[in-house]
Amino acid sequence: MQSSEIKRYHSHIMLDGFGVSGQIKLSKAKVLCVGAGGIASPFLYYLAAAGIGTLAIIDGDTVSVDNLCRQILYTQNDVALKKVDVAKAKLAKLNSEICIEVFDDYLDMANAQALFRRYDLVADCSDNYRTKLIINDVCVAGEQPFVTASARQHKGHFAFFDGKGPCYRCLFDELDVQQEESCHEVGVFSPVLGMLGSLQAIAIIKFLAGYACAFNQLLEIDALTLQQKLFTLQINKNCVLQHHSAVRHEVVPEQQVQFVSCLKSLHRKYQLIDVRSLSEHNQRNLGGECIPLENLATYFAKVSPTECIVLYCQAGKRSQLACEILASMGFKEVYSLVGGVSGACSCCV
Residue 239 binds to Zn ion (criterion: CB under 5 A): yes
- Cβ closer to Zn ion: 183 or 239? 239
- Cβ closer to Zn ion: 27 or 148? 148
- Contact with Zn ion (CB under 5 A) among 39, 112, 241, 326: 241
Residue 133 binds to Zn ion (criterion: CB under 5 A): no
Residue number of the CB atom closest to Zn ion: 239
For Zn ion, which stretch binds (CB under 5 A), given 114-122, 208-216, 241-249, 294-302?
241-249
- Cβ closer to Zn ion: 238 or 255? 238
Q: Compute the least distance from the CB of residue 233 to Zn ion, in Å.
A: 9
**Total interface residues for Zn ion by CB under 5 A:** 5
- Cβ closer to Zn ion: 18 or 259? 259
Q: Compute the least distance from the CB of residue 191 to Zn ion, in Å.
A: 30
Q: Based on DSSP, count helices (H) and strands (E) in the chain, helices before strands.
A: 14, 13
- Cβ closer to Zn ion: 91 or 338? 338
Q: Which of residues 151-170 bind Zn ion (CB under 5 A)?
A: 167, 169-170
Q: Compute the least distance from the CB of residue 161 to Zn ion, in Å.
A: 9
Q: Compute the least distance from the CB of residue 131 to Zn ion, in Å.
A: 17
- Cβ closer to Zn ion: 121 or 239? 239
Q: Which of residues 176-235 bind Zn ion (CB under 5 A)?
A: none
Q: Which residues bind Zn ion (CB under 5 A)?
A: 167, 169-170, 239, 241
